[in-house]
Structure formats: structure tokens, C-alpha cells
């Protein structure tokens, strides 16, 4: 089959690789009809997530048709011919983490738990196409994928909704939604979202759906801010204005009640010398992540507020504003999205027209053009917001 593979730092390549086969009894093989490039794929591309190997199949946002199931798959849950969206965390459904709906912390789905444990203290779930640290599972930017624990995660789509309407249930819509949900939004809340990429856009839409009084989008790309504004959110360009002053103006001088970091480890900074500091530390690997957004969100949030982190961090950060966090009674909430928890309720919201995930799609490319998709997405060319690939 054809598959988009990691070929070294800053390079992906569509190659011919073997077709997947059932390796565990609860596996399914899915023929992929739509897949997407995620912002977190760029962290892998840029080499900031360790344990990538040449030939690793990329991609953790995909959907398609079940073409084979292992002998252990519960037939009342999944059969050949079913149309499914596959959540990016692989979860067994049986461990203590899964029982607590903390699917991205599944205790059984990562065969490389030992590596994850060394980096994170405790292991994390397996993830498709997302380094060997999260299991070494082939990803979904391919014609076919093997899906373990197929009777736990995949969501059956039985309505006439198009692929584009439901594909993002695999990751970015639940991730954005969880970012807003962790904010425990109240009707009077001003919610500020750093990052107007696809996850940020969905965090903004979710904050509105959950009843926020106003939602602010912080970014530097005019086309991304325009997209947020068209969806009813208030744009703030950090290259043009001082973010803190603008946020105070927009929140009656209190600061946003809730702040969402939808950027993560590769933030860019309006202040050149601080950006250079993090860039150099990251380059010599004495700091793995550039936590500028996390710092600014903590400094901006009103006292007693909540800072919700859905942008991906991979290792250690420097100059974490522990004083502001502690002295001003801030709550920090975070997590890789527990996608399985949100898929069905969000499908219902899509069906009811409360959320329109298709609004972020700017590029539709054949799988063969995945490398071009990565390039335009990474370099923010052609006003690229979200790339959907068709195998």
C-alpha cells in the first residue's frame, strides 16, 4: 500500500510499504477514506518528539471502512463493512485509566511503556503514527491501517454525514472541546485562546457552545485570525498589539477568566530576545519545549482562573512562572485528549448543527501529495489551516 512516512527531520515521503495484518485478536483493518495532517505531526516532522525512525508511517486522524476484524472483536460492536472514525489514543477499555475514562493514559495499549515511563514518570497510551514513545504503531496517512482494540475506540457512523463532517472527531474537535470543558465555563466568562490553528478554532467554538460570554483568539497569522473572527470570536494579533493590555481591555481590567493554550511546545514569541533564549536552549536540548504561550497564559489569567493546556508538550520547560501560578490561585488543567469520551456527544452536536468542523478545511489533497501538504501547513503558505488527504 502507499503510506506517508517519516524520512528524517523535516522530511516526509510517500512510499510503498506492506499492507497491515491482524496482529492481536481484537484488531481491525480499516481501509482509509479520509485522513488529515495535525499540528502535532509538525512536532514529529521537526524532530521535537524523540524516538521517530525512518519509515514510520505518520498520521493519527483517520476514518474509513472496516475490511477485516480479528477473531476477538465483539461482533455486536464492530463488523466488516462498518464506517468508522478512529480515535487517536489506543485504549484497551479494561484498565483503571480506561475505567476512569482517561483513555489517553491507557495502561495496556503501549508496548513501549518502558520508554514512556522514563520520559514521563509513568507510561501513556499508544497513539497511531506518533513515535515509538507512544508504542510504534503505524499511522493513518496511508491506504490501510491496523486498529487495535477495535471494539473499544472506533465510532460507527451510521448517518449520511460526509467524511469531512466527522473526520475531526478522531482528534482535533474533541481536543479543542476538552480544552474548553476543562475551563468549567460560566456564563459571564471571558475565554482567551492562544493559537488559531484548527485545535484553537475548535476550542473557541466549544467555549461558545459551552456558554462563554466572549471568546478571544490570539495568533499572528492574519488569515487565521480572520477565520476566527468570521466564526464570531475576537481577534488579537500578538505581533501588532501588546497581548496583556489588549486582554485587560477586553475583560474589564480583570484578565480573562479562562485561558487555553492551543499552541504547545513550538510557540513563537513577539519578543525576539526571549524567543531566541528558548530557541537556543531547545536547539542544544537543554530545554525541549518553548513554553512561551504557557507563560503568557498564566501571567494573563485573572486570579483564581483556570489555564487549560491542550497544545502538546514533550519534555521540560524553562522559566515556568510558578510564582504567578501559586500566588494567584490559578488552576492548571491539561491532558492528551481522552477522545473516546467525547466522540458520541460531539457527533450529536455536529448532527444538530451546533458545531461545523468543516469550516477549518482549506486544503484537500491526494495522499501522494502529503509532503506538499506538510510544507504548506508548516510554513503557513496558501493560507493553509487544515489539510485533508484522500488515499
- What is the binding site for other proteins (CB under 8 A)? 3, 5, 17-21, 23-26, 51, 53-57, 72, 92-96, 99, 107-115, 117, 123, 126, 129, 131-132, 135-139, 146, 148-149
Report the sign of the C-alpha dihedral through residues 178, 188, 230, 306, in that order: negative
Closest C-alpha among 89, 299, 282 to residue 194: 299
Smallest separation, CB 42 to other proteins (Å): 17
55 or 232: CB nearest other proteins: 55
Smallest separation, CB 7 to other proteins (Å): 11
List the beta bridge partners of residue 331: 306
109 or 165: CB nearest other proteins: 109
106 or 346: CB nearest other proteins: 106
Quick one: cell of 207? 467555549
Decide the pairing of beta strands 306-309 and 331-334: parallel
Quick one: cell of 3? 503510506
CA separation for the pair 167, 85 (Å, rounded)? 6
146 or 349: CB nearest other proteins: 146
5 or 203: CB nearest other proteins: 5
Smallest separation, CB 61 to other proteins (Å): 16
Smallest separation, CB 59 to other proteins (Å): 11
Quick one: cell of 311? 497544545
Smallest separation, CB 95 to other proteins (Å): 5
114, with CB counted inside 10 A (0-12, 13-18, 19+), is exposed
CA separation for the pair 241, 225 (Å, rounded)? 13
129 or 255: CB nearest other proteins: 129
Quick one: cell of 127? 497513539
Provide the 3-class DSSP secondary structure of residue 120: helix
Amino acid at each position: 500500500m502507499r503510506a506517508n512516512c517519516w524520512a528524517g527531520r523535516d522530511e516526509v515521503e510517500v512510499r510503498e510499504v506492506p499492507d497491515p495484518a491482524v496482529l492481536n485478536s481484537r484488531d481491525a483493518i480499516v481501509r482509509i477514506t479520509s485522513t488529515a495532517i495535525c499540528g502535532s505531526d509538525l512536532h514529529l516532522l521537526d524532530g521535537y518528539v524523540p524516538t521517530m525512525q525512518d519509515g514510520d508511517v505518520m498520521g493519527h486522524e483517520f476514518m474509513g471502512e472496516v475490511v477485516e476484524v480479528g477473531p476477538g472483536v465483539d461482533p455486536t460492536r464492530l463488523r466488516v463493512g462498518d464506517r468508522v472514525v478512529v480515535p487517536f489514543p489506543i485504549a484497551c477499555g479494561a484498565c483503571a485509566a480506561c475505567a476512569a475514562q482517561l483513555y489517553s493514559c491507557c495502561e495496556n495499549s503501549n508496548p513501549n511503556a518502558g520508554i514512556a515511563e522514563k520520559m514521563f514518570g509513568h507510561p501513556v497510551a499508544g497513539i497511531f503514527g506518533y513515535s515509538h514513545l507512544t508504542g510504534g504503531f503505524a499511522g493513518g496517512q496511508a491506504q490501510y491501517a491496523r486498529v487495535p482494540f477495535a471494539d473499544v475506540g472506533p465510532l460507527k457512523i451510521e448517518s449520511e454525514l460526509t467524511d469531512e463532517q466527522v473526520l475531526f472527531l478522531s482528534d482535533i474537535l474533541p481536543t479543542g472541546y476538552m480544552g474548553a470543558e476543562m475551563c468549567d465555563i460560566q456564563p459571564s466568562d471571558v475565554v482567551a485562546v492562544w493559537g488559531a490553528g484548527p485545535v484553537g478554532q475548535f476550542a473557541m467554538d466549544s467555549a461558545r457552545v459551552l456558554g462563554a460570554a466572549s471568546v478571544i483568539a490570539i495568533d499572528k497569522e492574519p488569515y487565521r485570525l480572520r477565520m476566527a473572527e468570521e466564526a464570531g470570536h475576537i481577534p488579537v494579533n500578538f505581533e501588532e498589539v501588546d497581548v496583556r493590555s489588549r486582554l485587560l481591555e477586553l475583560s474589564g481590567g480583570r484578565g480573562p477568566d479562562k485561558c487555553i493554550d492551543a499552541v504547545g511546545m513550538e510557540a513563537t514569541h513577539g519578543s525576539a530576545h526571549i524567543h531566541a533564549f528558548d530557541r537556543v536552549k531547545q536547539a542544544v536540548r537543554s530545554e525541549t519545549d518553548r513554553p512561551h504561550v504557557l507563560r503568557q497564559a498564566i501571567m494573563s489569567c485573572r486570579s483564581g482562573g483556570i489555564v487549560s493546556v491542550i497544545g502538546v508538550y514533550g519534555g521540560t520547560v524553562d522559566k515556568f512562572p510558578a510564582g504567578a501560578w501559586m500566588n494567584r490561585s490559578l488552576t492548571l488543567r491539561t491532558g492528551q485528549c481522552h477522545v473516546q469520551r467525547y466522540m458520541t456527544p460531539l457527533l450529536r452536536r455536529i448532527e444538530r448543527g451546533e458545531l461545523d468542523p468543516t469550516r477549518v478545511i482549506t486544503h484537500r489533497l491526494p495522499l501522494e501529495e502529503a509532503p506538499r501538504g506538510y510544507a504548506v501547513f508548516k510554513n503557513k503558505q496558501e493560507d493553509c489551516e487544515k489539510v485533508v488527504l484522500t488515499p
